[in-house]
Chains A and B, each alone.
Chain A
Amino acid sequence: MSAGGHPTNRRLRVEFIVSLAILLGVAVLPAVVTNAYWQGVIVVSMYFAMLAIAWNILAGYTGQFSLAPAAFGMIGAYATGLLAYYYNTGFAIGIPAAILVSGFIGLVLGRIVLRLRGPYLALTTLSFAEIMRLVISNSIDFTRGDLGLNVPGIFQDRLPYYYMMVLVLLAIQAGLFYLLRSRAGLYLRAIRDDEIAAASRGVRIVYWKTFAFTLSAAICGLAGALYGHFAHFVSPELGLLQQTGVVISMVVIGGLGTMVGPLIGALLVYVASEFLRDVGNYQLVVFALLVIIFARFFRAGLWGIVLAIFGAKRARPAAVAPAAE
């Protein structure tokens, strides 16, 4: 059986092709969606898609259940925002800086939480996220606090932003695809399933866990920076725990531990919430409910349901059949 031959890689290829198709669909959408506002909505949903994908690398593929994705988004946004504010650098410096800064902080945090799992990890990352937000919103003289920072834009019109986001997402998914079908993919999933077993089989736990954390943080930072430049504005609210809640709901609804899940999750959830806006601001109520229902009854998420409908084998990994005790 050749490299791509065995089921895991076949499944990965399917997921990659599907996400390509989705992104292609998004790319042609502006032909129909001419209204600037709705294009903006989709841009923001793509920002969330990046956070969701990044978080899924940690939670879905490495089993590190971080509650800090939004915080890293905020860090990235502020990295470029503060640079622009103090040295009026543009995005050309700001965005790489954002990736480096958030990546580095991710590396440090990753090392710190190396030995923590489950609730311990969740609590530590939650505290980290809150500290970051509180520090930024209270260091008024440095960050202008709750007031936020104005960030220079990249383009005049909306469409360029739109396609920039599409391309970045494309790049991320492609990179992820090659990462996951390489040995790294095996190691991460092994660590997720049983760290001790992985170690005793020779997998370098420290290295790969830190790697996943750093990568995830860097992607979040990139997303945050792009968002900041698109919105021309960054503020501590980007790091609110509720934002993390939204990211989690997107992944859970879309399908945890799959490549397609976070993508469809983010796009659907966010665009849908725009329609819900017209029936009063019930978005969060509805999504919180959806998340609970999915987590409780459809752990494979929408993507898992799709696979089930098309008669494919069980969606991995979320749908391990519950065996009675």
Chain B
Amino acid sequence: MLFRRAGLLAAGLFAFSATAFAADPIKVGVTIAQSPPGSVSQGTQVKDGLEVAAKMINDAGGVDGRKIELIFEDTQGIPEKARAAVEKLITRDQVVAVTGEHQSSAALAGIEVAHRYHIPYINTNGWSDVIREKGYPEVFNPGNYNSRVAIAVADTMKSLGAKNVVAFCENTDYGVGLAKLIGVQIGERAKDINYKYETLDRASKDFLPAILPLKANPPDVVVEIMLPPAAYILINQLNEQGVAPTKKTLIYDASGIADYPDFWKNVSDSAVGMLVFGLYHPKMPLPELGKKIAAAYVAKTKGDPNRLLFQAADSLYLIAEAIKVGKSTKPDDMIKALENIKWTGTRGEITFSHEKSGFKYHQWLDVPYVTFQITKVNEPVADMKLVQEPGKPLDPSKLEKTK
């Protein structure tokens, strides 16, 4: 610290240093994308969610009288940056836990550091199963996971009665990983569906060479496994070429991008008729905490609640709970507390599986999900049509046919 102070002085900006007096706040490290190529819209939603939750916790007297202090770092969605960020949060800011990560590739780099320093890491939204398969005791996953989506996609395709399914996935572990898993699940649950996937480079922006070959005979469903902004461009170009959405071909968004703040800024009628895999929908029943968070968020941002808001809030609350229950901010105590936690969060009761096999380890297994359909341009999420409710299969009769 000394050196840092000196440096700050030298840099002539000795504003205020975190390590002040009184009851030290509990520092929680947050890694999110705040600039491209990372998904900034996701990052912002996580940021809002965490800030809302932190405010609620602190207003309620904090954790054993200590306030929660969030320290944000920008990952740009780049693993290397994420690694450096977690390193910085742990070694420079001495945070008690790290959370907020919303991109698998970044999370996978981050957990390595958290594991090395043995600091609890709450994975807010990294879907990649690999994060779980590593089996790091420090890592807990209250968020969604790829196998969950893969199963959902397979089941949905089946209930849609699709024959040919093509997936476009981004060239990240998340994208390719999910695309492969869907193949696995379709193989297990709907053998007769013929499925293939194409990998797209996030950075490149002309996807036509990948789309045009589909024109000859379009598949029944195009599954889109990409993050914005690339996802938006893909959807627009699919529409431009008349591949999807059409009477014959549906677009199925497996990344849940429809509730992003810039969604309608970037797509037009090209998104109408799209099926969306959702982890949250306004018509979903929520526990008390969920309702409170949603209200606070609306008050804060005037925006509609979204899944990341809840996932972020859960992440932070879990850390707070762990400290309360474990009665300390020591990693071992917190980890122990988390392993045995049984706590009702924003969308249901969260427990972590101890099964050390594959994607199940330290995972909240029954994350609720829904499927809904976009019926018109600029439609707010609340009005999008819920075609599959938590725990129930999709009902094709509810689907709106595209023009």
In the complex they form, whether A and B have CB atoms below 8 Å apart is answered with: yes
Q: A40-B87, A233-B109 are in contact. Are A148 and B3 (CB under 8 A)?
A: no
Across the interface, A146 reaches (CB within 8 A) one of B2, B8, B11, B105, namely B105
A212–B105 CA distance with the chains assembled, in angstroms: 37
Question: A-facing mask of B159-186, CB < 8 A → 1, else 0?
Answer: 0000000000001110010000000000
Q: Which has the most chain A C-beta neighbours within 10 Å: B2, B91, B108, B201?
A: B91
A291–B388 CA distance with the chains assembled, in angstroms: 57
**Are B176 and A275 in contact, CB atoms less than 8 angstroms apart?**
no
The smallest beta-carbon distance between B105 and chain A, in angstroms, is: 5
**Are A145 and B172 in contact, CB atoms less than 8 angstroms apart?**
yes
A281–B85 CA distance with the chains assembled, in angstroms: 13
- A15 located at the interface, meaning its Cβ lies under 8 Å from any Cβ of chain B in the complex: no
A301–B220 CA distance with the chains assembled, in angstroms: 63
**Are A275 and B79 in contact, CB atoms less than 8 angstroms apart?**
no
Q: Which has the most chain B C-beta neighbours within 10 Å: A34, A140, A233, A278?
A: A233
**Chain B residues within 8 Å of A9, by CB:** none
A147–B199 CA distance with the chains assembled, in angstroms: 14
**Chain A residues within 8 Å of B287, by CB:** none
**Are A33 and B80 in contact, CB atoms less than 8 angstroms apart?**
no
The smallest beta-carbon distance between A279 and chain B, in angstroms, is: 6
A137–B171 CA distance with the chains assembled, in angstroms: 8
A134–B176 CA distance with the chains assembled, in angstroms: 16
Residue of B with least CB distance to A233: B83
**Are B173 and A145 in contact, CB atoms less than 8 angstroms apart?**
yes
**Are B92 and A38 in contact, CB atoms less than 8 angstroms apart?**
yes
Interface residues on chain A, size class: 20 to 34
Residue of A with least CB distance to B116: A232
**Are A35 and B78 in contact, CB atoms less than 8 angstroms apart?**
no
Question: A-facing mask of B86-112, CB < 8 A → 1, else 0?
Answer: 011001100000000000010011001
- A235 located at the interface, meaning its Cβ lies under 8 Å from any Cβ of chain B in the complex: yes
Q: A146-B79, A147-B105, A237-B78 are in contact. Are A34 and B2 (CB under 8 A)?
A: yes
Q: Which has the most chain B C-beta neighbours within 10 Å: A134, A148, A274?
A: A148
The A-B contact count (CB < 8 A) is: 88
**Are B7 and A275 in contact, CB atoms less than 8 angstroms apart?**
yes
- B354 located at the interface, meaning its Cβ lies under 8 Å from any Cβ of chain A in the complex: no
Across the interface, A275 reaches (CB within 8 A) one of B11, B105, B116, B199, namely B11
**Are A150 and B105 in contact, CB atoms less than 8 angstroms apart?**
no
A140–B201 CA distance with the chains assembled, in angstroms: 11
The smallest beta-carbon distance between A88 and chain B, in angstroms, is: 16
A145–B104 CA distance with the chains assembled, in angstroms: 13
A233–B4 CA distance with the chains assembled, in angstroms: 26
- B35 located at the interface, meaning its Cβ lies under 8 Å from any Cβ of chain A in the complex: yes
Across the interface, B172 reaches (CB within 8 A) one of A32, A37, A147, A231, namely A147
The smallest beta-carbon distance between B103 and chain A, in angstroms, is: 10
**Chain B residues within 8 Å of A36, by CB:** 91
**Chain B residues within 8 Å of A32, by CB:** 2-3
A148–B105 CA distance with the chains assembled, in angstroms: 8
**Chain A residues within 8 Å of B20, by CB:** none
Across the interface, B8 reaches (CB within 8 A) one of A40, A232, A233, A275, namely A275
The smallest beta-carbon distance between A3 and chain B, in angstroms, is: 42
**Are B199 and A140 in contact, CB atoms less than 8 angstroms apart?**
yes
**Are B3 and A232 in contact, CB atoms less than 8 angstroms apart?**
no
Q: A37-B88, A145-B176, A275-B11 are in contact. Are A138 and B80 (CB under 8 A)?
A: no
Interface of A is mostly: helix
The smallest beta-carbon distance between B51 and chain A, in angstroms, is: 18
**Are A35 and B3 in contact, CB atoms less than 8 angstroms apart?**
yes
**Chain B residues within 8 Å of A235, by CB:** 78-80, 109
**Are B35 and A281 in contact, CB atoms less than 8 angstroms apart?**
yes
Interface residues on chain B, size class: 20 to 34
- A144 located at the interface, meaning its Cβ lies under 8 Å from any Cβ of chain B in the complex: yes
Interface of B is mostly: helix
A238–B108 CA distance with the chains assembled, in angstroms: 17
A144–B171 CA distance with the chains assembled, in angstroms: 10
**Chain A residues within 8 Å of B91, by CB:** 35-37, 40
**Are B172 and A146 in contact, CB atoms less than 8 angstroms apart?**
yes
The smallest beta-carbon distance between B340 and chain A, in angstroms, is: 29
A281–B202 CA distance with the chains assembled, in angstroms: 23
- B74 located at the interface, meaning its Cβ lies under 8 Å from any Cβ of chain A in the complex: yes
**Are B8 and A278 in contact, CB atoms less than 8 angstroms apart?**
yes
**Are A147 and B173 in contact, CB atoms less than 8 angstroms apart?**
yes
Across the interface, A233 reaches (CB within 8 A) one of B7, B79, B176, namely B79
Q: A131-177: which residues lie under 8 A (CB-CB) from chain B?
A: 134, 137-138, 140, 144-148, 150
**Chain B residues within 8 Å of A38, by CB:** 3-4, 92
- B13 located at the interface, meaning its Cβ lies under 8 Å from any Cβ of chain A in the complex: yes
A32–B6 CA distance with the chains assembled, in angstroms: 11
Q: B318-348: which residues lie under 8 A (CB-CB) from chain A?
A: none
**Chain B residues within 8 Å of A148, by CB:** 79-80, 105, 108-109
Q: B262-279: which residues lie under 8 A (CB-CB) from chain A?
A: none
- B216 located at the interface, meaning its Cβ lies under 8 Å from any Cβ of chain A in the complex: no
**Are B79 and A237 in contact, CB atoms less than 8 angstroms apart?**
yes
**Chain B residues within 8 Å of A278, by CB:** 8, 11, 13
Residue of B with least CB distance to A243: B80
- B81 located at the interface, meaning its Cβ lies under 8 Å from any Cβ of chain A in the complex: yes
A276–B8 CA distance with the chains assembled, in angstroms: 9
Q: B59-95: which residues lie under 8 A (CB-CB) from chain A?
A: 74, 78-81, 83-84, 87-88, 91-92
Residue of B with least CB distance to A234: B80
The smallest beta-carbon distance between A277 and chain B, in angstroms, is: 8
Residue of A with least CB distance to B104: A147
Question: B-facing mask of A14-54, CB < 8 A → 1, else 0?
Answer: 00000000000000000011111110100000000000000
Residue of A with least CB distance to B93: A37
- B22 located at the interface, meaning its Cβ lies under 8 Å from any Cβ of chain A in the complex: no
A34–B92 CA distance with the chains assembled, in angstroms: 11
Extra 7 A-B pairs, beta carbons < 8 Å, given A34-B2, A275-B7, A279-B11: A32-B2, A35-B2, A35-B92, A146-B105, A147-B172, A233-B112, A237-B81
Can you spell out 9 A-B residue pairs with CB atoms less than 8 angstroms apart? A35-B1, A35-B4, A146-B171, A146-B202, A231-B84, A233-B80, A235-B79, A235-B80, A275-B11
Interface residues of B (CB under 8 A from A): 1-4, 7-8, 10-11, 13, 35, 74, 78-81, 83-84, 87-88, 91-92, 105, 108-109, 112-113, 116, 171-173, 176, 199, 201-202
Query: Which 6 interchain pairs have the tightest Cβ spacing?
Result: A37-B92, A37-B91, A147-B173, A237-B80, A275-B11, A36-B91
